[in-house]
Amino acid sequence: MDYPRREQTYDAETLLGSGLIFQGWVLAKEGATVRPYIRLNSKKYYLKINLSRPDVIRRVLNEESKGHPRLYCGFRAAVPLNSDTCFFGFENNKCDYDTMQIFIEGSLKIIEGHDGWLFLDNDTNQSVEQFTGKLLLDWREKRAWYDYLDSLSKLAEEYLSAHSVLIAPSKEMVMSDYYPHRKGSTTPVEQVEKLADKKHNVVHPVKRMQASKDRVFRVCDTHWTHKGAQCGLLAALEVLGLDTVAVASLFSDDKFREVVRAGDLGNKIFPRRTARELIPNGISYRQWVHYDNHLPNMGRVLITQNKEALVSAKCLIFGSSSSYTMLDYVSRIFSEVIFVHSAGNIDVTILNQVRPNYLLAQTNGRFVIRAPIVGYRLEDEIEKKWAGLNDKEREEIIVSQGQWIEKWSKDTQLEYSYPLIIFFSVQNT
């Protein structure tokens, strides 16, 4: 077998469309009828031996290839794949001999749990080791967590802001019935819960989400569903002192529609895996966006304004990827929402600029092996992110910033100019 070779890289479109190329050669004993094949699921695809291979005749038989009776001993064919596993083998005297198993691995290693549920595997945060209790926080990291929680609590008191620390549970913590590994006696996130004082207002709503009648996580994604985000947000709002009955009533008439989506896990395996999911119908935080710097992930800043919101107040969120789903809800609760994608790290300069009524730090359960910090600098994050963008990405973002300036100059004063000033000071350097 010449091809495929170990560790070759392909895109899914090629594998599903034109197919994977299988090339090799066969030299059978005289009189034998050998037929190479690819076995894919329950089907066999025979590979015709009709390719001239003078190199084989010279090197294997050590004979002159020109005019040799066994010159056409090679095969080459492209077989479209619809599975991540296939077999290469030979049929001889009506018997099949599988000689090679071929695996197609996605760009991310995935655990397939029960009933098709997908989970992270071998990720940088070592999710499996955290869940099984093999990876725990040492005394230094526990101290770092306590210092973070204590500093945040004091800052909130100084700025007269109600605050909460929301840890979005890892998928395996909530959907453990579908997860193939057994939970350890304790985990890093449970260590954080144990060391936190009551004044630290840590919320990790695992039991609340497990008790929900709605599906709270996506089948092919690491993130919670919109219903899961609402469940987690309500738990945090209780700590913030809001009337959660009134808030829940605000969402009681929400309509949902069914879509088929792959997600961050389903998109990174082969073949691409999808599942049916429910998303809000006609409701999106985008309709209230007042500013968006459009930077990918860390360093992104979003501001929403909604005069018809339930509460006339400012809410500042230092959040992570799970916060985006919450924005569809939180933008209807608070008249002003300032979201900074920082994974729970706190930029005191922004806190001083905004002086929110409510402060929410949000991180994801699998991130807790590294404590967030108070003393984070958004400016440094934007500078790093800007340096990593290509020319096309930079141009698109610069154009979007110009559109926001034009909109703001017509609609309102630049009350929250700090993120915008940071962006342009970085971009101009």
pLDDT tens digits, 101-153:
888 876 567 899 999 999 998 888 999 999 999 999 999 999 999 999 999 99
Do 249 and 204 share a domain, yes or no?
yes
Q: 0.85 exceeded by the pTM? A: no
Which run of H or of E encompasses 6? none
Do 67 and 124 share a domain, yes or no?
no
Q: Do the domain assignments include residue 383?
A: no
User: What's the CA angle centered on 331, arms 326 and 336, to 5 degrees?
Assistant: 130
Q: Do the domain assignments include residue 417?
A: no
Closest Cα to residue 223, out of 323, 77, 93? 323
Report the number of distinct structural domains present in the chain: 2
Where is the domain boundary, 377, 399, 419?
377
Do 124 and 86 share a domain, yes or no?
no
Dihedral angle computed from the Cα positions of residues 268, 274, 278 and 280, in that order, rounded to the nearest 10 degrees: 50
Q: Do the domain assignments include residue 386?
A: no
Q: Which domain holds residue 152?
A: 111-377
Where is the domain boundary, 51, 80, 103?
103
Do 78 and 176 share a domain, yes or no?
no
Residue 166 burial (CB count, 10 A):
29
Least confident of 6-10, 202-206, 207-211, 286-290: 6-10
Do 90 and 129 share a domain, yes or no?
no
Q: Is the pLDDT of residue 407 over 60?
A: yes
Do 77 and 153 share a domain, yes or no?
no
Do 144 and 48 share a domain, yes or no?
no
Where is the domain boundary, 46, 69, 103?
103
Do 92 and 144 share a domain, yes or no?
no
